[in-house]
A and B are shown apart, each in its own frame.
Chain A
Protein backbone atom coordinates (compact mmCIF):
# COMPACT_ATOMS: atom_id res chain seq x y z
CA UNK A 1 0.00 0.00 0.00
CA UNK A 2 3.00 2.30 0.44
CA UNK A 3 4.14 1.67 -3.15
CA UNK A 4 1.98 4.52 -4.34
CA UNK A 5 2.81 8.20 -3.92
CA UNK A 6 -0.82 9.12 -3.24
CA UNK A 7 -0.97 6.66 -0.35
CA UNK A 8 2.22 8.09 1.15
CA UNK A 9 0.79 11.58 0.81
CA UNK A 10 -2.46 10.48 2.39
CA UNK A 11 -0.69 9.03 5.44
CA UNK A 12 1.53 12.10 5.86
CA UNK A 13 -1.44 14.46 5.56
CA UNK A 14 -3.47 12.35 7.98
CA UNK A 15 -0.60 12.39 10.50
CA UNK A 16 -0.25 16.17 10.42
CA UNK A 17 -3.98 16.80 10.63
CA UNK A 18 -4.67 14.19 13.30
CA UNK A 19 -2.03 15.63 15.63
CA UNK A 20 -3.42 19.15 15.30
CA UNK A 21 -7.05 18.01 15.59
CA UNK A 22 -6.41 15.83 18.63
CA UNK A 23 -4.59 18.56 20.56
CA UNK A 24 -6.83 21.49 19.61
CA UNK A 25 -9.94 19.32 19.99
CA UNK A 26 -9.04 18.48 23.59
CA UNK A 27 -9.25 22.14 24.61
CA UNK A 28 -12.36 22.58 22.45
CA UNK A 29 -14.14 19.83 24.39
CA UNK A 30 -12.83 21.18 27.71
CA UNK A 31 -14.33 24.59 26.93
CA UNK A 32 -17.65 23.09 25.88
CA UNK A 33 -17.24 24.67 22.44
CA UNK A 34 -17.34 21.48 20.38
CA UNK A 35 -20.00 22.92 18.10
CA UNK A 36 -17.84 25.94 17.34
CA UNK A 37 -15.57 23.62 15.34
CA UNK A 38 -18.56 22.25 13.49
CA UNK A 39 -19.88 25.75 12.78
CA UNK A 40 -16.51 27.03 11.55
CA UNK A 41 -16.19 24.19 9.06
CA UNK A 42 -19.58 25.03 7.52
CA UNK A 43 -18.54 28.64 7.07
CA UNK A 44 -15.32 27.34 5.56
CA UNK A 45 -17.33 25.64 2.81
CA UNK A 46 -18.45 29.08 1.58
CA UNK A 47 -14.83 30.23 1.60
CA UNK A 48 -13.58 27.19 -0.27
CA UNK A 49 -16.21 27.32 -3.00
CA UNK A 50 -15.82 31.11 -3.28
CA UNK A 51 -12.10 30.64 -3.79
CA UNK A 52 -12.72 28.02 -6.50
CA UNK A 53 -15.03 30.49 -8.24
CA UNK A 54 -12.26 33.11 -8.18
CA UNK A 55 -9.72 30.59 -9.46
CA UNK A 56 -7.81 30.40 -6.16
CA UNK A 57 -6.83 27.25 -4.23
CA UNK A 58 -9.87 26.18 -2.12
CA UNK A 59 -7.67 25.62 0.95
CA UNK A 60 -6.89 29.34 1.15
CA UNK A 61 -10.54 30.30 0.83
CA UNK A 62 -11.31 27.78 3.57
CA UNK A 63 -8.61 29.17 5.89
CA UNK A 64 -9.59 32.80 5.30
CA UNK A 65 -13.26 32.24 6.03
CA UNK A 66 -12.81 29.97 9.05
CA UNK A 67 -10.30 32.31 10.69
CA UNK A 68 -12.51 35.35 10.05
CA UNK A 69 -15.50 33.50 11.49
CA UNK A 70 -13.49 32.20 14.46
CA UNK A 71 -12.30 35.68 15.38
CA UNK A 72 -15.84 37.00 14.90
CA UNK A 73 -17.34 34.40 17.23
CA UNK A 74 -14.59 35.08 19.77
CA UNK A 75 -15.20 38.84 19.69
CA UNK A 76 -18.97 38.49 20.04
CA UNK A 77 -18.30 36.14 22.94
CA UNK A 78 -21.22 35.22 25.16
CA UNK A 79 -23.63 37.16 23.01
CA UNK A 80 -23.59 34.37 20.40
CA UNK A 81 -23.38 31.32 22.62
CA UNK A 82 -26.82 29.87 23.38
CA UNK A 83 -28.24 31.48 20.25
CA UNK A 84 -28.86 28.19 18.52
CA UNK A 85 -31.46 29.51 16.07
CA UNK A 86 -29.24 32.34 14.83
CA UNK A 87 -26.21 30.04 14.57
CA UNK A 88 -28.24 27.40 12.73
CA UNK A 89 -29.48 29.95 10.21
CA UNK A 90 -25.99 31.31 9.58
CA UNK A 91 -24.69 27.77 9.06
CA UNK A 92 -27.45 26.96 6.59
CA UNK A 93 -26.72 30.18 4.72
CA UNK A 94 -23.02 29.30 4.63
CA UNK A 95 -23.71 25.92 3.03
CA UNK A 96 -26.31 27.47 0.72
CA UNK A 97 -23.88 30.13 -0.47
CA UNK A 98 -21.29 27.43 -1.08
CA UNK A 99 -23.81 25.63 -3.27
CA UNK A 100 -24.49 28.86 -5.18
CA UNK A 101 -20.79 29.39 -5.85
CA UNK A 102 -20.48 25.81 -7.08
CA UNK A 103 -23.49 26.35 -9.31
CA UNK A 104 -21.55 29.05 -11.17
CA UNK A 105 -18.47 26.88 -11.34
CA UNK A 106 -19.55 23.73 -13.12
CA UNK A 107 -16.19 22.54 -14.40
CA UNK A 108 -15.60 20.17 -11.47
CA UNK A 109 -18.63 18.18 -10.49
CA UNK A 110 -16.61 16.29 -7.88
CA UNK A 111 -15.45 19.49 -6.18
CA UNK A 112 -18.51 19.70 -3.95
CA UNK A 113 -18.23 16.12 -2.73
CA UNK A 114 -14.52 16.55 -2.07
CA UNK A 115 -15.13 19.67 0.01
CA UNK A 116 -18.10 18.27 1.88
CA UNK A 117 -16.75 14.80 2.59
CA UNK A 118 -13.01 15.15 2.09
CA UNK A 119 -10.64 13.46 -0.31
CA UNK A 120 -7.45 12.53 1.46
CA UNK A 121 -6.33 10.27 -1.38
CA UNK A 122 -6.04 13.28 -3.67
CA UNK A 123 -3.63 15.29 -1.48
CA UNK A 124 -0.66 16.43 -3.60
CA UNK A 125 2.74 17.62 -2.46
CA UNK A 126 2.03 21.38 -2.46
CA UNK A 127 -1.04 20.71 -0.31
CA UNK A 128 1.14 18.70 2.09
CA UNK A 129 3.42 21.70 2.52
CA UNK A 130 0.43 23.96 3.11
CA UNK A 131 -0.91 21.55 5.72
CA UNK A 132 2.49 21.40 7.45
CA UNK A 133 2.72 25.20 7.50
CA UNK A 134 -0.79 25.61 8.92
CA UNK A 135 -0.10 22.92 11.50
CA UNK A 136 3.08 24.68 12.61
CA UNK A 137 1.24 27.99 13.02
CA UNK A 138 -1.69 26.51 14.94
CA UNK A 139 0.46 24.37 17.26
CA UNK A 140 2.82 27.29 17.95
CA UNK A 141 -0.20 29.46 18.76
CA UNK A 142 -1.59 26.79 21.05
CA UNK A 143 1.77 26.44 22.83
CA UNK A 144 1.80 30.19 23.51
CA UNK A 145 -1.73 30.43 24.93
CA UNK A 146 -2.02 26.95 26.49
CA UNK A 147 -1.49 28.06 30.09
CA UNK A 148 -3.95 30.96 30.28
CA UNK A 149 -6.33 28.99 28.02
CA UNK A 150 -6.42 26.14 30.51
CA UNK A 151 -6.95 28.55 33.43
CA UNK A 152 -9.65 30.52 31.61
CA UNK A 153 -11.43 27.34 30.51
CA UNK A 154 -11.55 25.75 33.97
CA UNK A 155 -12.03 28.84 36.15
CA UNK A 156 -13.01 31.89 34.07
CA UNK A 157 -13.94 34.15 36.99
CA UNK A 158 -10.74 33.49 38.90
CA UNK A 159 -8.64 33.78 35.72
CA UNK A 160 -10.17 37.20 35.03
CA UNK A 161 -9.39 38.33 38.57
CA UNK A 162 -5.80 37.12 38.17
CA UNK A 163 -5.34 39.30 35.09
CA UNK A 164 -6.11 36.93 32.20
CA UNK A 165 -7.92 38.66 29.33
CA UNK A 166 -10.75 36.21 28.71
CA UNK A 167 -11.61 37.82 25.38
CA UNK A 168 -8.05 37.76 24.05
CA UNK A 169 -7.65 34.10 25.01
CA UNK A 170 -11.01 33.22 23.48
CA UNK A 171 -10.33 35.01 20.18
CA UNK A 172 -6.82 33.56 19.87
CA UNK A 173 -8.09 30.07 20.61
CA UNK A 174 -10.93 30.25 18.09
CA UNK A 175 -8.48 31.47 15.44
CA UNK A 176 -6.39 28.36 16.19
CA UNK A 177 -9.52 26.19 16.02
CA UNK A 178 -10.31 27.78 12.67
CA UNK A 179 -6.90 26.77 11.28
CA UNK A 180 -7.31 23.26 12.66
CA UNK A 181 -10.80 23.03 11.16
CA UNK A 182 -9.55 24.10 7.74
CA UNK A 183 -6.87 21.40 7.92
CA UNK A 184 -9.26 18.79 9.16
CA UNK A 185 -11.67 19.52 6.32
CA UNK A 186 -8.92 18.46 3.90
CA UNK A 187 -9.06 14.94 5.27
CA UNK A 188 -12.68 14.28 6.27
CA UNK A 189 -14.47 17.19 4.59
CA UNK A 190 -16.34 20.08 6.16
CA UNK A 191 -19.32 17.97 7.22
CA UNK A 192 -17.28 15.40 9.16
CA UNK A 193 -14.78 17.64 10.97
CA UNK A 194 -16.53 16.71 14.23
CA UNK A 195 -15.39 13.09 13.82
CA UNK A 196 -11.68 13.85 13.88
CA UNK A 197 -11.63 16.98 16.05
CA UNK A 198 -14.14 16.19 18.79
CA UNK A 199 -14.39 12.39 18.79
CA UNK A 200 -10.84 11.57 19.95
CA UNK A 201 -10.79 14.37 22.56
CA UNK A 202 -14.16 13.33 23.97
CA UNK A 203 -12.94 9.71 24.08
CA UNK A 204 -9.71 10.68 25.87
CA UNK A 205 -11.55 12.46 28.68
CA UNK A 206 -13.14 9.14 29.63
CA UNK A 207 -9.77 7.43 30.02
CA UNK A 208 -7.69 9.82 32.12
CA UNK A 209 -8.11 12.66 34.59
CA UNK A 210 -4.61 14.02 33.98
CA UNK A 211 -4.15 16.90 31.61
CA UNK A 212 -0.93 15.71 29.96
CA UNK A 213 -2.18 12.18 29.39
CA UNK A 214 -5.48 13.55 28.12
CA UNK A 215 -3.76 15.63 25.45
CA UNK A 216 -1.46 12.77 24.47
CA UNK A 217 -4.31 10.24 24.28
CA UNK A 218 -6.46 12.61 22.27
CA UNK A 219 -3.68 13.06 19.70
CA UNK A 220 -2.91 9.30 19.59
CA UNK A 221 -6.56 8.33 19.16
CA UNK A 222 -6.92 10.86 16.33
CA UNK A 223 -3.79 9.38 14.70
CA UNK A 224 -5.11 5.86 15.08
CA UNK A 225 -8.52 6.73 13.62
CA UNK A 226 -7.04 8.57 10.64
CA UNK A 227 -4.43 5.90 9.83
CA UNK A 228 -6.81 2.99 10.34
CA UNK A 229 -9.42 4.74 8.21
CA UNK A 230 -7.02 5.06 5.28
CA UNK A 231 -5.65 1.53 5.69
CA UNK A 232 -9.10 -0.08 5.83
CA UNK A 233 -10.17 2.02 2.84
CA UNK A 234 -7.21 0.57 0.91
CA UNK A 235 -8.45 -2.99 1.43
CA UNK A 236 -12.22 -2.41 1.25
CA UNK A 237 -12.43 0.47 -1.22
CA UNK A 238 -14.92 2.14 1.14
CA UNK A 239 -14.66 5.95 1.50
CA UNK A 240 -11.96 7.04 3.98
CA UNK A 241 -14.21 9.66 5.57
CA UNK A 242 -16.93 7.11 6.31
CA UNK A 243 -14.38 4.81 7.95
CA UNK A 244 -12.90 7.63 10.06
CA UNK A 245 -16.33 8.75 11.27
CA UNK A 246 -17.30 5.14 12.04
CA UNK A 247 -14.02 4.57 13.93
CA UNK A 248 -14.50 7.83 15.82
CA UNK A 249 -17.92 6.70 17.03
CA UNK A 250 -16.71 3.18 17.88
CA UNK A 251 -13.71 4.46 19.83
CA UNK A 252 -15.89 6.95 21.67
CA UNK A 253 -18.40 4.29 22.72
CA UNK A 254 -15.61 1.95 23.82
CA UNK A 255 -13.90 4.69 25.87
CA UNK A 256 -17.17 5.82 27.43
CA UNK A 257 -17.83 2.19 28.39
CA UNK A 258 -14.38 1.84 29.95
CA UNK A 259 -14.79 5.19 31.71
CA UNK A 260 -18.13 4.19 33.20
CA UNK A 261 -16.62 1.11 34.81
CA UNK A 262 -13.67 2.87 36.40
Chain B
Protein backbone atom coordinates (compact mmCIF):
# COMPACT_ATOMS: atom_id res chain seq x y z
CA UNK B 1 0.00 0.00 0.00
CA UNK B 2 1.42 3.35 -1.01
CA UNK B 3 -0.02 6.57 0.44
CA UNK B 4 1.24 9.97 -0.67
CA UNK B 5 4.34 8.42 -2.27
CA UNK B 6 5.27 6.57 0.92
CA UNK B 7 5.07 2.81 1.14
CA UNK B 8 3.02 2.21 4.26
CA UNK B 9 2.31 -1.50 4.08
CA UNK B 10 4.64 -3.63 1.99
CA UNK B 11 3.86 -7.21 0.92
CA UNK B 12 1.61 -8.18 3.77
CA UNK B 13 -0.38 -11.38 3.71
CA UNK B 14 -3.17 -11.83 6.25
CA UNK B 15 -6.03 -14.21 6.72
CA UNK B 16 -8.58 -13.13 9.28
CA UNK B 17 -11.22 -15.66 10.25
CA UNK B 18 -14.92 -14.85 10.34
CA UNK B 19 -16.13 -14.13 13.87
CA UNK B 20 -12.75 -13.01 15.19
CA UNK B 21 -12.02 -9.97 17.32
CA UNK B 22 -8.69 -8.71 16.02
CA UNK B 23 -6.83 -5.85 17.68
CA UNK B 24 -4.88 -3.79 15.14
CA UNK B 25 -1.87 -2.26 16.85
CA UNK B 26 1.22 -0.34 15.88
CA UNK B 27 2.72 3.14 16.08
CA UNK B 28 1.37 6.20 14.25
CA UNK B 29 1.98 5.89 10.54
CA UNK B 30 2.33 2.10 10.71
CA UNK B 31 -0.69 1.71 8.44
CA UNK B 32 -3.68 1.04 10.71
CA UNK B 33 -5.92 3.58 8.98
CA UNK B 34 -4.44 2.70 5.58
CA UNK B 35 -5.35 -0.95 6.11
CA UNK B 36 -8.93 0.00 7.00
CA UNK B 37 -9.29 2.34 4.04
CA UNK B 38 -8.03 -0.45 1.79
CA UNK B 39 -10.58 -2.90 3.18
CA UNK B 40 -13.27 -0.24 2.63
CA UNK B 41 -12.19 0.05 -1.01
CA UNK B 42 -11.11 3.68 -0.63
CA UNK B 43 -7.47 2.89 -1.40
CA UNK B 44 -6.30 0.33 -3.93
CA UNK B 45 -3.15 -1.72 -3.29
CA UNK B 46 -0.39 -1.29 -5.89
CA UNK B 47 -0.19 -5.04 -6.25
CA UNK B 48 -2.09 -8.00 -4.89
CA UNK B 49 -5.66 -8.12 -3.79
CA UNK B 50 -7.92 -7.87 -0.77
CA UNK B 51 -11.01 -9.98 -0.31
CA UNK B 52 -13.77 -9.48 2.22
CA UNK B 53 -16.02 -12.47 2.91
CA UNK B 54 -14.89 -14.13 -0.31
CA UNK B 55 -15.48 -11.16 -2.65
CA UNK B 56 -13.12 -8.46 -3.90
CA UNK B 57 -13.39 -5.23 -1.91
CA UNK B 58 -15.55 -2.47 -3.29
CA UNK B 59 -16.50 0.93 -1.96
CA UNK B 60 -19.89 1.05 -0.26
CA UNK B 61 -19.97 -2.72 0.46
CA UNK B 62 -22.92 -3.12 2.87
CA UNK B 63 -21.22 -6.12 4.48
CA UNK B 64 -18.53 -3.83 5.92
CA UNK B 65 -19.40 -1.51 8.80
CA UNK B 66 -17.05 1.35 9.58
CA UNK B 67 -16.53 3.62 12.55
CA UNK B 68 -14.16 6.42 11.58
CA UNK B 69 -11.96 8.29 14.04
CA UNK B 70 -13.97 11.02 15.74
CA UNK B 71 -13.24 14.57 14.71
CA UNK B 72 -12.58 17.12 17.39
CA UNK B 73 -14.89 19.88 16.12
CA UNK B 74 -18.05 20.63 18.06
CA UNK B 75 -20.91 18.61 16.56
CA UNK B 76 -24.11 20.17 15.20
CA UNK B 77 -26.81 19.89 17.88
CA UNK B 78 -29.03 17.25 16.30
CA UNK B 79 -30.47 14.42 18.37
CA UNK B 80 -28.55 11.17 18.54
CA UNK B 81 -31.42 9.45 16.75
CA UNK B 82 -31.36 11.92 13.82
CA UNK B 83 -27.59 11.56 13.68
CA UNK B 84 -27.71 7.77 13.44
CA UNK B 85 -30.59 7.86 10.96
CA UNK B 86 -28.66 10.20 8.63
CA UNK B 87 -26.27 7.34 7.86
CA UNK B 88 -29.05 4.95 6.85
CA UNK B 89 -29.27 5.01 3.06
CA UNK B 90 -27.46 8.36 3.19
CA UNK B 91 -25.74 7.60 -0.10
CA UNK B 92 -29.02 7.75 -2.04
CA UNK B 93 -30.24 10.93 -3.73
CA UNK B 94 -33.42 12.67 -2.68
CA UNK B 95 -34.97 13.93 0.53
CA UNK B 96 -33.94 12.35 3.85
CA UNK B 97 -37.32 10.75 4.61
CA UNK B 98 -37.25 7.74 6.91
CA UNK B 99 -39.68 4.85 6.46
CA UNK B 100 -41.10 2.75 9.29
CA UNK B 101 -38.55 0.04 8.41
CA UNK B 102 -35.74 2.60 8.61
CA UNK B 103 -36.89 3.73 12.03
CA UNK B 104 -37.00 0.11 13.25
CA UNK B 105 -33.46 -0.41 12.02
CA UNK B 106 -32.30 2.74 13.86
CA UNK B 107 -33.98 1.54 17.08
CA UNK B 108 -32.39 -1.90 16.66
CA UNK B 109 -28.84 -0.55 16.47
CA UNK B 110 -29.46 1.97 19.28
CA UNK B 111 -30.60 -0.91 21.47
CA UNK B 112 -27.57 -3.02 20.54
CA UNK B 113 -25.22 -0.35 21.92
CA UNK B 114 -27.42 0.65 24.89
CA UNK B 115 -27.91 4.14 23.48
CA UNK B 116 -31.69 4.44 23.57
CA UNK B 117 -31.57 6.92 26.43
CA UNK B 118 -28.97 9.02 24.60
CA UNK B 119 -30.95 9.17 21.39
CA UNK B 120 -33.11 12.18 22.28
CA UNK B 121 -30.28 14.33 23.58
CA UNK B 122 -28.38 16.77 21.37
CA UNK B 123 -25.00 15.52 20.16
CA UNK B 124 -23.11 18.49 21.53
CA UNK B 125 -24.19 17.63 25.07
CA UNK B 126 -22.92 14.04 24.97
CA UNK B 127 -19.58 12.94 26.38
CA UNK B 128 -16.92 11.42 24.16
CA UNK B 129 -17.82 7.92 25.32
CA UNK B 130 -21.53 8.46 24.68
CA UNK B 131 -20.82 9.78 21.19
CA UNK B 132 -18.70 6.68 20.54
CA UNK B 133 -21.73 4.51 21.23
CA UNK B 134 -23.74 6.40 18.61
CA UNK B 135 -20.90 6.02 16.10
CA UNK B 136 -20.85 2.30 16.82
CA UNK B 137 -24.62 2.20 16.29
CA UNK B 138 -24.15 3.89 12.91
CA UNK B 139 -21.51 1.34 11.94
CA UNK B 140 -23.97 -1.48 12.73
CA UNK B 141 -26.71 -0.17 10.40
CA UNK B 142 -27.55 -2.62 7.63
CA UNK B 143 -26.19 -5.66 9.50
CA UNK B 144 -22.54 -5.74 8.39
CA UNK B 145 -20.54 -8.97 8.76
CA UNK B 146 -17.23 -7.17 9.27
CA UNK B 147 -16.78 -4.16 11.52
CA UNK B 148 -13.81 -1.79 11.15
CA UNK B 149 -13.26 0.43 14.17
CA UNK B 150 -10.60 3.10 13.72
CA UNK B 151 -9.09 4.14 17.06
CA UNK B 152 -12.30 4.27 19.11
CA UNK B 153 -10.31 4.67 22.34
CA UNK B 154 -8.52 7.89 21.40
CA UNK B 155 -9.15 10.61 24.00
CA UNK B 156 -11.10 8.30 26.34
CA UNK B 157 -9.96 7.81 29.92
CA UNK B 158 -9.13 4.22 30.99
CA UNK B 159 -12.51 3.29 32.58
CA UNK B 160 -14.42 4.55 29.51
CA UNK B 161 -11.98 2.83 27.18
CA UNK B 162 -12.60 -0.45 29.03
CA UNK B 163 -16.35 0.09 28.72
CA UNK B 164 -16.10 0.66 24.95
CA UNK B 165 -14.01 -2.51 24.49
CA UNK B 166 -16.48 -4.53 26.58
CA UNK B 167 -19.41 -3.14 24.57
CA UNK B 168 -17.80 -3.94 21.22
CA UNK B 169 -16.95 -7.45 22.42
CA UNK B 170 -20.53 -8.02 23.61
CA UNK B 171 -22.02 -6.77 20.31
CA UNK B 172 -19.48 -8.80 18.31
CA UNK B 173 -20.38 -12.00 20.12
CA UNK B 174 -24.11 -11.35 20.07
CA UNK B 175 -24.10 -10.83 16.30
CA UNK B 176 -21.29 -13.29 15.51
CA UNK B 177 -19.44 -10.74 13.37
CA UNK B 178 -15.77 -10.08 12.70
CA UNK B 179 -14.15 -7.01 14.27
CA UNK B 180 -10.95 -5.17 13.39
CA UNK B 181 -10.31 -2.76 16.26
CA UNK B 182 -7.34 -0.44 15.95
CA UNK B 183 -5.73 1.10 19.01
CA UNK B 184 -2.53 2.65 20.25
CA UNK B 185 -2.39 0.58 23.37
CA UNK B 186 -2.73 -3.14 23.72
CA UNK B 187 -3.77 -3.36 27.37
CA UNK B 188 -7.38 -2.12 27.17
CA UNK B 189 -8.00 -4.68 24.41
CA UNK B 190 -6.55 -7.70 26.24
CA UNK B 191 -9.86 -8.93 27.75
CA UNK B 192 -11.56 -8.97 24.33
CA UNK B 193 -8.91 -10.03 21.84
CA UNK B 194 -8.92 -13.26 19.87
CA UNK B 195 -5.81 -12.36 17.92
CA UNK B 196 -3.64 -9.32 17.43
CA UNK B 197 -2.41 -7.76 14.21
CA UNK B 198 0.75 -5.78 14.83
CA UNK B 199 1.81 -3.32 12.13
CA UNK B 200 5.22 -1.69 12.00
CA UNK B 201 8.13 -1.03 9.67
CA UNK B 202 5.93 -1.64 6.62
CA UNK B 203 5.21 -5.19 7.74
CA UNK B 204 2.57 -6.99 9.77
CA UNK B 205 2.30 -9.95 12.12
CA UNK B 206 -1.01 -11.64 12.95
CA UNK B 207 -1.45 -14.16 15.73
CA UNK B 208 -2.32 -14.76 19.37
CA UNK B 209 -1.00 -12.13 21.79
CA UNK B 210 1.53 -14.54 23.36
CA UNK B 211 3.07 -15.29 19.95
CA UNK B 212 3.11 -11.81 18.41
CA UNK B 213 3.78 -9.48 21.33
CA UNK B 214 7.20 -10.87 22.13
CA UNK B 215 10.65 -9.31 22.03
CA UNK B 216 12.02 -11.37 19.11
CA UNK B 217 8.91 -10.99 16.87
CA UNK B 218 8.57 -7.23 17.34
CA UNK B 219 12.35 -6.72 17.06
CA UNK B 220 12.26 -8.47 13.68
CA UNK B 221 9.26 -6.35 12.62
CA UNK B 222 10.88 -3.04 13.54
CA UNK B 223 14.45 -4.02 12.75
CA UNK B 224 15.45 -2.64 16.15
CA UNK B 225 15.73 -4.22 19.57
CA UNK B 226 12.36 -4.33 21.32
CA UNK B 227 11.62 -5.72 24.74
CA UNK B 228 8.25 -6.84 26.03
CA UNK B 229 7.55 -6.67 29.74
CA UNK B 230 4.67 -8.30 31.59
CA UNK B 231 3.73 -6.40 34.74
CA UNK B 232 0.75 -7.60 36.77
CA UNK B 233 -1.30 -8.77 33.78
CA UNK B 234 -0.39 -5.76 31.69
CA UNK B 235 1.99 -5.78 28.76
CA UNK B 236 4.50 -3.05 27.94
CA UNK B 237 6.38 -2.83 24.66
CA UNK B 238 9.72 -1.07 25.09
CA UNK B 239 12.37 0.08 22.66
CA UNK B 240 15.60 0.31 24.67
CA UNK B 241 14.35 2.28 27.68
CA UNK B 242 11.26 3.83 26.03
CA UNK B 243 7.77 2.51 26.31
CA UNK B 244 6.94 2.31 22.59
CA UNK B 245 3.20 2.42 22.93
CA UNK B 246 3.24 5.33 25.36
CA UNK B 247 5.71 7.26 23.22
CA UNK B 248 3.57 6.62 20.18
CA UNK B 249 0.61 8.68 21.19
CA UNK B 250 2.41 11.45 22.98
CA UNK B 251 1.79 13.72 20.02
CA UNK B 252 0.28 17.18 20.29
CA UNK B 253 -3.08 17.22 21.96
CA UNK B 254 -2.50 14.11 24.02
CA UNK B 255 -1.94 14.11 27.71
CA UNK B 256 1.15 12.07 28.29
CA UNK B 257 1.41 10.19 31.51
CA UNK B 258 4.95 8.86 31.69
CA UNK B 259 5.30 6.76 34.74
CA UNK B 260 9.08 6.53 35.33
CA UNK B 261 8.74 3.41 37.44
CA UNK B 262 7.34 1.53 34.45
CA UNK B 263 9.31 3.19 31.66
CA UNK B 264 12.64 2.35 33.21
CA UNK B 265 11.69 -1.07 34.54
Interface positions of A (Cβ within 8 A of B) = 29-30, 32, 143-148, 150-155, 157-164, 205-206, 209-211, 214
> Do A150 and B90 touch (CB < 8 A)?
yes
Closest Cβ neighbor of A147 among chain B residues: B96
> Do B82 and A151 touch (CB < 8 A)?
no
> Do B68 and A158 touch (CB < 8 A)?
yes
> Do A157 and B78 touch (CB < 8 A)?
no
**Contact for B86 among A29, A155, A163, A214, CB less than 8 A:** A155
Q: Which positions 110-128 of chain B face chain A at CB distance < 8 Å?
A: 120-122
> Do A147 and B82 touch (CB < 8 A)?
no
A180→B75 CA distance, assembly (Å): 25
A191→B66 CA distance, assembly (Å): 43
Encoded as 1 (CB less than 8 Å from any A CB) or 0, chain B from 82 to 98 comes to: 11001101111111100
Closest Cβ neighbor of B94 among chain A residues: A147
Q: What's the least CB distance linking B122 to chain A, in Å?
A: 4
Given contacts A32-B73, A210-B79, A214-B78, A155 and B138 within 8 Å (CB-CB): yes
Interface of chain B: mostly helix, strand, loop or mixed: loop
> Do A148 and B92 touch (CB < 8 A)?
yes
Given contacts A163-B59, A209-B120, A143 and B94 within 8 Å (CB-CB): yes
> Do B83 and A161 touch (CB < 8 A)?
no
A163→B57 CA distance, assembly (Å): 13
Instruction: Kindly state whether residue B42 has any CB partner on chain A within 8 Å.
Output: yes
> Do B91 and A209 touch (CB < 8 A)?
no
Instruction: Please give, as numbers and ranges, the residues of chain A lying within 8 Å of B42 by CB-CB distance.
Output: 160-161
Closest Cβ neighbor of B93 among chain A residues: A144
**Contact for A205 among B67, B76, B139, CB less than 8 A:** B76
Instruction: Please give, as numbers and ranges, the residues of chain A lying within 8 Å of B139 by CB-CB distance.
Output: 158
Question: Lowest 3 CB-CB distances: which A-B pairs, in order?
Answer: A151-B90, A163-B60, A157-B68
A123→B67 CA distance, assembly (Å): 51
> Do B60 and A162 touch (CB < 8 A)?
yes
- The interface size of chain B toward A, counting residues with CB under 8 Å, comes to 33
Instruction: Kindly state whether residue B204 has any CB partner on chain A within 8 Å.
Output: no
Closest Cβ neighbor of A155 among chain B residues: B87
Instruction: Please give, as numbers and ranges, the residues of chain A lying within 8 Å of B93 by CB-CB distance.
Output: 144-145, 147-148
Instruction: Please give, as numbers and ranges, the residues of chain A lying within 8 Å of B82 by CB-CB distance.
Output: 209-211
Closest Cβ neighbor of A160 among chain B residues: B42
> Do B94 and A163 touch (CB < 8 A)?
no
A188→B93 CA distance, assembly (Å): 32
Given contacts A160-B42, A210-B79, A147 and B66 within 8 Å (CB-CB): no
What are 23 inter-chain pairs, A to B, with CB distance below 8 A? A143-B94, A147-B92, A147-B94, A147-B95, A147-B96, A148-B92, A150-B86, A151-B87, A151-B91, A153-B76, A154-B76, A154-B83, A155-B90, A157-B69, A158-B87, A158-B138, A159-B90, A162-B60, A162-B87, A162-B90, A162-B91, A209-B79, A209-B82
A81→B96 CA distance, assembly (Å): 27
Instruction: Please give, as numbers and ranges, the residues of chain A lying within 8 Å of B68 by CB-CB distance.
Output: 155, 157-158, 161
> Do B59 and A146 touch (CB < 8 A)?
no
**Contact for A30 among B76, B91, B121, CB less than 8 A:** B76
**Contact for A154 among B40, B86, B91, B92, CB less than 8 A:** B86
> Do A209 and B96 touch (CB < 8 A)?
no
Instruction: Kindly state whether residue B216 has any CB partner on chain A within 8 Å.
Output: no
Instruction: Please give, as numbers and ranges, the residues of chain A lying within 8 Å of B158 by CB-CB distance.
Output: none
> Do B60 and A161 touch (CB < 8 A)?
yes
Instruction: Please give, as numbers and ranges, the residues of chain B lying within 8 Å of A164 by CB-CB distance.
Output: 90-91
A145→B121 CA distance, assembly (Å): 26
**Contact for A209 among B41, B69, B86, B122, CB less than 8 A:** B122
> Do A147 and B78 touch (CB < 8 A)?
no
> Do B59 and A147 touch (CB < 8 A)?
no
A12→B77 CA distance, assembly (Å): 32
> Do B78 and A209 touch (CB < 8 A)?
yes
> Do A161 and B40 touch (CB < 8 A)?
yes
Instruction: Please give, as numbers and ranges, the residues of chain B lying within 8 Å of A30 by CB-CB distance.
Output: 76
Q: What's the least CB distance linking A197 to chain B, in Å?
A: 16
A192→B82 CA distance, assembly (Å): 32
**Contact for B78 among A151, A162, A206, A211, CB less than 8 A:** A211
A154→B89 CA distance, assembly (Å): 14
A210→B76 CA distance, assembly (Å): 11
> Do B91 and A143 touch (CB < 8 A)?
no
Given contacts A143-B94, A209-B77, A209-B120, A151 and B86 within 8 Å (CB-CB): yes
A214→B123 CA distance, assembly (Å): 14
Q: What's the least CB distance linking B39 to chain A, in Å?
A: 10
> Do B79 and A146 touch (CB < 8 A)?
no
Q: What's the least CB distance linking A26 to chain B, in Å?
A: 10
Instruction: Please give, as numbers and ranges, the residues of chain A lying within 8 Å of B69 by CB-CB distance.
Output: 157
Closest Cβ neighbor of A165 among chain B residues: B91
Q: What's the least CB distance linking B20 to chain A, in Å?
A: 21
A70→B187 CA distance, assembly (Å): 48
Instruction: Please give, as numbers and ranges, the residues of chain A lying within 8 Å of B90 by CB-CB distance.
Output: 147-148, 150-152, 155, 159, 162, 164
